[in-house]
């Protein structure tokens, strides 16, 4: 299992709307994530900076990258681009984070 983390941001005044659009996310988007090996996906908001920190556990890099080519993912990007910085293809502006520490669940002896 790979751990992926990346940072994005939400536009000023759009924090509540960002959260509303994610609760719940579209069922077909959730299905695409699961089909492509995403086992866990969490997004945190720092209200002081409007930075978003995303963390995902995925089966492999190739399947994770394949999500971007799905129709539902591209539709989601278009749905979100009016409330967050976006690239020309409507994907969110993001920066991958490098893992520097991980403590896994301890196994019982």
User: Most distant CA pair in the chain: distance in Å?
Assistant: 52
Distance (Å, whole) CA 91 – CA 47: 22
6: Cα separation from own chain's centroid = 8
CA–CA dist 94, 5 (Å, integer): 10
Closest CA to 41 of 50, 17, 52, 49: 52
Q: Does residue 79 carry a catalytic annotation?
A: no
Per annotation, catalytic residue among 3, 20, 22, 78: 22
Catalytic residues: 22
């Amino acid at each position: 299992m790979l751990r992926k983390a990346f940072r994005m941001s939400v536009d000023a005044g759009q924090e509540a709307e960002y959260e509303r659009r994610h609760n719940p996310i579209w069922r077909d988007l959730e299905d695409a994530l699961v089909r492509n090996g995403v086992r866990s996906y969490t997004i945190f908001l720092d209200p002081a900076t409007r930075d978003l920190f995303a963390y995902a556990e995925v089966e492999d890099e190739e399947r994770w990258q394949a999500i971007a080519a799905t129709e539902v993912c591209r539709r989601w990007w278009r749905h979100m681009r009016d409330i967050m910085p976006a690239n020309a293809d409507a994907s969110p502006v993001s920066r991958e984070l490098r893992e520097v520490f991980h403590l896994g669940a301890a196994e019982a002896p």
